[in-house]
C-alpha cells in the first residue's frame, strides 16, 4: 500500500517520487536528442558526463556540506530551486555552450540530493532494513510517472485531428496509432527537460515541509570537517573495498543499459533492432520500474532470508540475464519487452541493498558522505566510464557500415556483470556485527 502523504513515511515516499521523476523525465531520451541538435560526439560526451562528473565533485564538496553544515531539507530545497531552473533552461536552447553549462549546473546541484534524500529517509525510520524498500519505492513510482506522459507528447496530433474520431476510445486509439517520427519526434524531446524542471521546482517547495533532520556533529576523534575523508578511510576494510569495486562494475553495466536500450528498441528490425515506435520506447523502458515496485516490497524479507551477498549477486546476475536476451533473442520483441521486468531486481537487489548496507555499517555522522562514497561509483565513475566508452563501442567497434552488431555489443556488459557476480561471491564477507554508531544490526 502506498503511504499517505500526510504521514512522515508518506512525505518521504513523495520526496522520493519527485526526486526520481526529475531524473527519469530527461535521461532515457537524451541519448537520441543530442545528435538531433547537431552536437558533435565530443560535445555529446561532455553533456552526458556532466552527471557523473557532478557525482565525483559531490563526493568531496556537496555531501560534506549536507553532512555537517546544513539541515538536509533546506539544502534539498535550495538545490532543487536552482537546479530546476537550470534543467528547465535546457528545454529552450539548442546551442551547445548554454546547454552544457545549464546541464552541468543542474547536475552539480541534483546529484548530491540523491544521497541527501537517502539520509533524510534513514534518519526518519525506526527499522531501515524493513522500511527503506517501501519509501524508496516512491522513486520507482516517480520514474514511471515521468515516462508515460511522453506517450502522448510524442503523438502526431495533426494526424489524429485528420482522423476525425468520435468518442474517447476512438480518439485514444488514433493517438496511440500515430506517433511522431524522425525529426519531429526528436524536436519534441525538449519537453522532457521542461517537465523535469517544473518537477524540480515542486520538490524545492515540498522539501520545506519534510520532517526536520538535524545536521550531524563530527564524531569524537574524527577528522573534524572532512566527513568524506572519514568515509574514504572505511575502504581499508576488505569487505567495503570489494563492494565498492563491484559497485563500479555494476554501475558501468547499468549505464550500458541506458546508453543502448533506447537505440536498440528504436532501431528497425532489418538493421538488427526491435523496431519499436518512438512514443513507446520510454514506457517500455519503464516496465522495469513497475516490476521494481514489487521487488521493493519483498526486499526486506529477501535480505533477512538470503543475506547481503546472495541478494546482491542476484541483482548483478539480473543484468547478465537481460543482456543475454538482448544478444541472443533480438528478433523477439515480446522477449525483449518482458525481460525489462528484471530491472526491478537489478536495482533493488543491488543498488538499494547497497544503500541499506551503508546505513547499517557506517557511523552516523558521516552517513551522507558514506552514501556519496558509493554514489561516486554508482552515479560517478561507473557512469563516466559508460558514457565515455559506450558511444565509442557502438559507433566504432561494433558498427560495420550503418549496421550495429548488437550481439557483440551486448556481450560486453554480459561478461562484465558475470565477472562482478563471481567476485562478490568469492571476496565479499562482511562481519555479522555492524560498526559502532551504525543505525541497525545487519542481516547476515
d(CA 282, CA 285): 5
Check residue 221 and give its pLDDT.
45
564477507: which residue's cell? 429
Residues near 350 by Cβ (< 8 Å), separated by ≥ 6? Answer: 250, 311, 312, 315, 316, 318
Structure-block grid coordinates of residue 343: 530491472
Q: What is the pLDDT of residues 74-103, one digit of tens each?
A: 889 999 999 999 999 999 999 999 999 999
Q: Quick check: 53 and 310 in contact, CB under 8 A?
A: no
Summary mean pLDDT of the chain: 83
Q: In the prediction, which pLDDT does 265 show?
A: 92
Mean pLDDT of the region 315-328: 96
Contact 180, 188 (CB under 8 A): yes
Q: How many alpha carbons fall within 13 Å on the CB side of residue 39? A: 24
Give the pLDDT mean for 221-243: 73
CA atoms within 13 Å, Cβ hemisphere of 2: 15
Give mean pLDDT, residues 281-301: 83
Residues linked to residue 403 through DSSP beta bridges, in sequence order: 400
- Reference 413, options 348, 326, 286; nearest CA is 326
pLDDT at 23 over 50: yes
pLDDT of 231: 72
pLDDT the model gives residue 222: 46
Rounded to an integer, the average pLDDT of 357-378 is 76
Most confident of 196-200, 229-233, 294-298, 387-391: 196-200
User: HSE-up of 169 (CA within 13 Å, CB side)?
Assistant: 0
- Residues 6+ positions from 224 with CB-CB distance below 8 Å: 218
Cβ within 8 Å of residue 345, ≥6 positions away = 291, 295, 314, 315, 318
Task: Band the pLDDT of 216: cuts 50, 70, 90.
Answer: low
Beta-carbon neighbour count of residue 170 at 10 Å? 12
Give 235-249 pLDDT, tens digit per residue: 888 988 999 999 999
pLDDT for residue 430: 86
| Domains of the chain: residue spans and CATH | 8-214+224-427 (1.20.1250.20)
Name the more confident of 49 and 60: 49
Highest mean pLDDT among 138-152, 293-307, 326-340: 326-340
Q: Is the pLDDT of residue 193 over 80?
A: yes
Which pLDDT score is estimated for 333? 92
Q: 50 to each of 31, 247, 263, 336, 379, how far by Cα in Å? A: 13, 20, 21, 30, 11
Amino acid at each position: 500500500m502506498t503511504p499517505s502523504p500526510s504521514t512522515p513515511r508518506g512525505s518521504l515516499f513523495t520526496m522520493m517520487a519527485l526526486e526520481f521523476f526529475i531524473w527519469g523525465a530527461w535521461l532515457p531520451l537524451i541519448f537520441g536528442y543530442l545528435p538531433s541538435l547537431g552536437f558533435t560526439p565530443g560535445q555529446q560526451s561532455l553533456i552526458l558526463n556532466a552527471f557523473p562528473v557532478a557525482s565525483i565533485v559531490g563526493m568531496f564538496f556537496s555531501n560534506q556540506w549536507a553532512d555537517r553544515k546544513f539541515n538536509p531539507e533546506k539544502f534539498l530545497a535550495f538545490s532543487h530551486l536552482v537546479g530546476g531552473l537550470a534543467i528547465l533552461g535546457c528545454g529552450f536552447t539548442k546551442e551547445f555552450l548554454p546547454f552544457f553549462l545549464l546541464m552541468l549546473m543542474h547536475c552539480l546541484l541534483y546529484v548530491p540530493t540523491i544521497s541527501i534524500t537517502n539520509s533524510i529517509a534513514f534518519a526518519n525510520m525506526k527499522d531501515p532494513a524493513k522500511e527503506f524498500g517501501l519509501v524508496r519505492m516512491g522513486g520507482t513510482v516517480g520514474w514511471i510517472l515521468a515516462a508515460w506522459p511522453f506517450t502522448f507528447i510524442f503523438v502526431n496530433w495533426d494526424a489524429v485531428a485528420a482522423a476525425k474520431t468520435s468518442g474517447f476510445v476512438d480518439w485514444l486509439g488514433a493517438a496511440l496509432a500515430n506517433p511522431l517520427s524522425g525529426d519531429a519526434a526528436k524536436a519534441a524531446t525538449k519537453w522532457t527537460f521542461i517537465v523535469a524542471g517544473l518537477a524540480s521546482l515542486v520538490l524545492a517547495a515540498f522539501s520545506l515541509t519534510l520532517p526536520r533532520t538535524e545536521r550531524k556533529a563530527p564524531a569524537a576523534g574524527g577528522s573534524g570537517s572532512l566527513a568524506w575523508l572519514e568515509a574514504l578511510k572505511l575502504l581499508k576494510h576488505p569487505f567495503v573495498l570489494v563492494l565498492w569495486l563491484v559497485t563500479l562494475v555494476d554501475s558501468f553495466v547499468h549505464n550500458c543499459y541506458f546508453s543502448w536500450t533506447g537505440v536498440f528498441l528504436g532501431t528497425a528490425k532489418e538493421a538488427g533492432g526491435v523496431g519499436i515506435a518512438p512514443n513507446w520506447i520510454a514506457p517500455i523502458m519503464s516496465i522495469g520500474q513497475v516490476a521494481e515496485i514489487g521487488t521493493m516490497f519483498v526486499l526486506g524479507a529477501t535480505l533477512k532470508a538470503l543475506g547481503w551477498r546472495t541478494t546482491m549477486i542476484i541483482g548483478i546476475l539480473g543484468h547478465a540475464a537481460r543482456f543475454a536476451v538482448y544478444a541472443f533473442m533480438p528478433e523477439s520483441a515480446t522477449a525483449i519487452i518482458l525481460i525489462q521486468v528484471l530491472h526491478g531486481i537489478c536495482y533493488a537487489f543491488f543498488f538499494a541493498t547497497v544503500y541499506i548496507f551503508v546505513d547499517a555499517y557506517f557511523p552516523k555522522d558521516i552517513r551522507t558522505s558514506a552514501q556519496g562514497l558509493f554514489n561516486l561509483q554508482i552515479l560517478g565513475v561507473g557512469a563516466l566510464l559508460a558514457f565515455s566508452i559506450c558511444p565509442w563501442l557502438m559507433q566504432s567497434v561494433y558498427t560495420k557500415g550503418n549496421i550495429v552488431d548488437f550481439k557483440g555489443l551486448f556481450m560486453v556488459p554480459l561478461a562484465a556483470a558475470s565477472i562482478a557476480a563471481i567476485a562478490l561471491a568469492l571476496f565479499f564477507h562482511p562481519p555479522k556485527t555492524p560498526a559502532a554508531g551504525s543505525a541497525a544490526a545487519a542481516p547476515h
